[in-house]
Structure 1
Amino acid sequence: MKRIIAFCSFSALILTMGCATNPLTGKSTLALVNNSSIFPSAFQQYDTFLKENIVVTGTADAKRVESVGIKIKQAAEKWLAAVGQADYLKDYQWEYKLVDDKAVNAWCMPGGKIVVYTGILPVTKDEAGLATVMGHEVAHALLNHGQQRMSAGMLQQAGAVGVGLAVGEKNEQTQAIAMTAYGAGSQMFGMLPFSRSHESEADKIGLILMAIAGYNPEASVPFWERMGAASGGSAPAEFMSTHPSHNTRVSNLRKWIPEAKAEAAKYGVVFK
């Protein structure tokens, strides 16, 4: 019992200290690992990935990826400067690469390292569609979702230790059942909703970023409808997925578009 009490007290202390406030949302988020530790590792992994894959350069598509990425980054700089947080981006090292891969995908590493796969370009179709994707990915980086997921993973592991302590004196079968239940429960009711909330948060912030960058946020809806069609309805049920369903995503975007336009108007960007 004493070990359990000590463990709980230590965990509470870590939770209290391991939080940060994001300037774009005003929310307090998990930050058990500092970006000063995460970014160098992410940059190294990004460089390794580029060396091991075919990076497309010099083409119109490659130039478009970089151009849109720069516009989205500049939109982020304007937004953060307006709220007195210009220094927030000082450690980010932005890079935007097009990689020859049939996967319909794009991703961003912590610190602003972005990859767009050629396989997603037929779905983006135009620059506004690409801005939807890159706004979403830049948003992930600005919202420190990588940091939060690492922190959540640490808490999940710590929880497993706590469960182990709680059932440590039980028989092996009881211990096995408890650990299995904890693993399934923490994934289904903790990590999956946590990841879905990140995706929705990146959708909303990405919508604002693309609008400030001059891209009509209404273009996000047909893009995600095309993504839904491209998936062929093969996505798992929403409650079992790390991403919201396409219907949920499109519904949310329609709701957020007026807010994105209003935010963009503050920077002189007006859509008819």
Structure 2
Amino acid sequence: MTFRLLCISLLCIACLSACTTSPTGRKTIKLYSSSQLANMGTQAFDSMKSEQKVSSKTVENEYVRCIATHIAQQVPDNVFAGEWEVVVFDEDQINAFALPGGKIGVYTGLLNVAENQHQLAAVIGHEVAHVIAEHGNERMSSGTLINLGMEATNQILQSNQVGQTPMIMSAIGLGVQVGVQLPFSRTHESEADIIGLDLMAKAGFDPQQSVNLWQNMAKASGGQRQPELLSTHPAPDSRIKMLQKNMKGAMQSYKLSKNKPNCRP
């Protein structure tokens, strides 16, 4: 079997054996097991705790843990059934993240933009949604298949002695980034917004505050951001429109929620 046929066969087998569906019904490919992702998440989180400054402020930690705990209670057991580890990192960046294996990290800079528990819940819900939808698995799987496909293309070009191979491969790489990987990431962000909106609402946080959060985010960026075409994240205006589109269902879940948290900074 030629290298080309071998690569095509491997790609087909991988795609057929790893096809699955995201929580919103989108077709996805995931090549890695949940346990593999959980181990990676735990290792990455432990490394971050050793390399970055962790907040020692009791009030900050209790506030973030209060919100994160209510959000985590909405996570299905098949995603993670244990106790989530929540860490506040003492850094100015406006960011948060969640990792497979039940890990949540929040940077203190975010607390200056998320003005209340509902807005912080919108961010944490969004990050936890990435874990629920296994976006990390999907990105890694996509990268594996893309690398395999590009290696096959490179081998074909070289075997046929096609001139300017490096230039062609560079162009293909750019095409993959703009045409596949970046829109793919924007899809993940939008999907996490939808799932996160539902999470925060069921946890008893006001989903309407997610709109206020992104208005604050837009102000914090000072208008300095890449064009949406070349960004892994949708523009704040796009996110707000999408959130508003899904607000009716979220508000119904919020009204039905018996638990209304009172987390205070």
- Using structure 2 for the length normalisation, give the TM-score: 0.91
Q: Contact 1:139 / 1:202 at 8 angstroms: preserved in 2? A: yes
The equivalent residue for 2:236 is 246
Which residue of the other structure, out of 164, 167, 170, is the alignment partner of 1:174? 164
The equivalent residue for 1:70 is 69
Q: What is the rounded CA distance, in whole Å, between the counterparts of 2:176 and 2:202 in structure 1?
A: 38
Q: Contact 1:101 / 1:117 at 8 angstroms: preserved in 2? A: yes
The equivalent residue for 1:162 is 152
**Following TM superposition, by how much is the alpha carbon of 1:40 offset from its aligned partner in structure 2, in angstroms?**
1.3
| Structure 1 portions without partners, runs of 5+ | 81-85
Q: What is the rounded CA distance, in whole Å, between the counterparts of 1:117 and 1:189 in structure 2?
A: 32
The equivalent residue for 1:41 is 40
Which residue of the other structure, out of 69, 80, 105, is the alignment partner of 1:89? 80
Q: Which amino acid aligns with 1:64?
A: Y
Q: Contact 1:57 / 1:63 at 8 angstroms: preserved in 2? A: no
Q: Which amino acid aligns with 1:177?
A: M
Q: What is the rounded CA distance, in whole Å, between the counterparts of 1:237 and 1:41 in structure 2?
A: 32
The equivalent residue for 2:121 is 131
**Following TM superposition, by how much is the alpha carbon of 1:269 offset from its aligned partner in structure 2, in angstroms?**
6.9
Q: What is the rounded CA distance, in whole Å, between the counterparts of 1:173 and 1:109 in structure 2?
A: 44
Q: Does 2:234 match 1:235?
A: no
Counterpart secondary structure, 1:107: strand
**Following TM superposition, by how much is the alpha carbon of 1:170 offset from its aligned partner in structure 2, in angstroms?**
4.0
| Structure 2 portions without partners, runs of 5+ | 261-265
Q: Which amino acid aligns with 2:114?
A: T
Counterpart secondary structure, 1:114: strand
Range moving further from structure 2, 1-10 or 107-116: 1-10
Counterpart secondary structure, 2:78: helix
The equivalent residue for 2:19 is 19
**Following TM superposition, by how much is the alpha carbon of 1:93 offset from its aligned partner in structure 2, in angstroms?**
5.3
Q: Which amino acid aligns with 1:73?
A: A
Q: What is the rounded CA distance, in whole Å, between the counterparts of 1:48 and 1:93 in structure 2?
A: 19
Q: What is the rounded CA distance, in whole Å, between the counterparts of 2:6 and 2:162 in structure 1?
A: 24
- Using structure 1 for the length normalisation, give the TM-score: 0.89
Structure 2 counterparts to residues 193-212 of structure 1, below 5 A: 193-212=183-202
- The two structures, once aligned, show a CA RMSD in angstroms of 2.0
Counterpart secondary structure, 1:230: helix
Counterpart secondary structure, 1:111: coil
Q: Which amino acid aligns with 2:68?
A: G
Q: What is the rounded CA distance, in whole Å, between the counterparts of 2:35 and 2:185 in structure 1?
A: 23
